[in-house]
A and B are shown apart, each in its own frame.
Chain A
Amino acid sequence: MSNLAGKVAIVTGAARGIGQAIALRLAADGADLALADLKTEWLDDTAAKVRALGRRAECFAVDVASSESVNAGVAAIVAAFGQVDILVNNAGITRDTLILRMTDADWDAVLDINLKGVFLMTRAVAKPMMRARGGAIVNVASVVGVTGNAGQANYTASKGGVIALTKTTAKELGSRNIRANAVAPGYIHTAMTEKLPEELRAQMVKLVPLARPGEPEDVANVVAFLAGPDAAYVNGQTIHVCGGMVM
């Protein structure tokens, strides 16, 4: 498939996990990749794999929680590629604990990266996308942003916020042919979930009608759909990629 040929895509948190799978899938569909993560060295593996698919990859050190870093990063990306067509806001962290034990720092760190980061990146690409008279933004939320989840006050609030921000972005920028959508993954097999206790993981699989954790590629496939021309009339939506865990 090459329905993204000639497109330039930014993926945040592209070093590993779901972000890496998204970058590789967009490259397989023909896009060139601006890979962003906290340190450029962490992106070497993803960049090598994108190049092995015959696409261009450039690595950028961006802390999505910092407006200076985001603005400088997006300016460097526009300078390197001349355009931005697709933005995938994937960078995210967890700091799980019960509300009673959650510190201000736990709350702020998660909200700054998961929610403010999406806002800062969206604001930074809005102008270049308007200049190009079109674009697609795909935000990585989570099903727990819809359902809530004990032990994740900060994370669920951030992901619920991402879903609402996706809708506002869709409304504000829709007239400029810029679409914004979200994916809400369920339980996906990555480093983020690897650190959960074994029994909790077994319990989570029991909640999934498809009876398996998702793979990063399962999420990447839906992101590629939302970023591409087949989703030309899909705007402001959140697609759950959770094996039916949340309906």
Chain B
Amino acid sequence: MELTRKILEGDVRAAARLMTMIENGASEARAALKSLYPHTGSGYIIGITGPPGSGKSTLTDELTDELRKRRKTVGIVAVDPTSPFTGGAILADRIRMQRHSLDADVFIRSMATRGHLGGLARATNDIVDVMDAAGKEVILIETVGVGQDEVEVVGTAHTCVVVSVPGLGDEVQAIKAGILEIGDIFVVNKADREGANRTATELEMMLHMAPDTGGWLPKVYKTVATKGKGIVELVDAIFEHKAFLDERDLRKKKGRERSERAFLTLLQETLAARTIERFKRNGSMKELIERIADRELDPYTAVEEVLESIGL
């Protein structure tokens, strides 16, 4: 396939095009993803999550800089929220990363959530795969950074970096509430601000109390992303975690889990879509729903009937 070949050869335009098709749910995308699939699985995926304004984009930019110094090719997927009122979005993470835009070995892609919850967009996983197939050795995912329930990134990333800033009592609470379990590495960014040490200590204490998750002890790092401070140590820590996973064959395990989730999601979506399509061809959806609404039929029976009618 032409598109796949181009992507594998490193054609940026082709990869970018496919990403759009994926986001838009175009049917051609599926074929391309099929043939790209054998070429995925070697990229190392890092998730960067944390509250808005904590410095995720700035850190992503600095991490990229350091990774390039270590001669890694880098893909970046930056997710920003879609406005629930207008369906539009302003994707501005890129502002902080523009200095890499002329580097052929860095590919930056901004995406909007388009209503998807959990900190990523629906298509983020597939877009990461495209970057992976296009040969990006490290792929950084910057999550939306709005809520506490941004845990979806764990399912995608090999190493998950949770970013916080000094002095935000509430933020630390928020981390406690949900994100503590997902972090492999914790960062107190803006360490040039007052209270960085205290926040770091608080985090460390919370981590000590957390249940053991198989031998990896998450550590807390302090960074000043705007000045590039603490970045080398952070990248070292990420690679340390990678080594840990590889030693225990955990990366494969994570990969398997990701494959399973991806498979199940795809199966669900495909099944639902096919079912609806086929049912639409055979019966009247509108009529059925009216009957449910009028309490002539309950939704449980309706589903059973529909599945039966198409032989499932």
Same complex origin of A and B: no
By a beta-carbon cutoff of 8 Å, the part of chain A in contact with chain B is none
By a beta-carbon cutoff of 8 Å, the part of chain B in contact with chain A is none
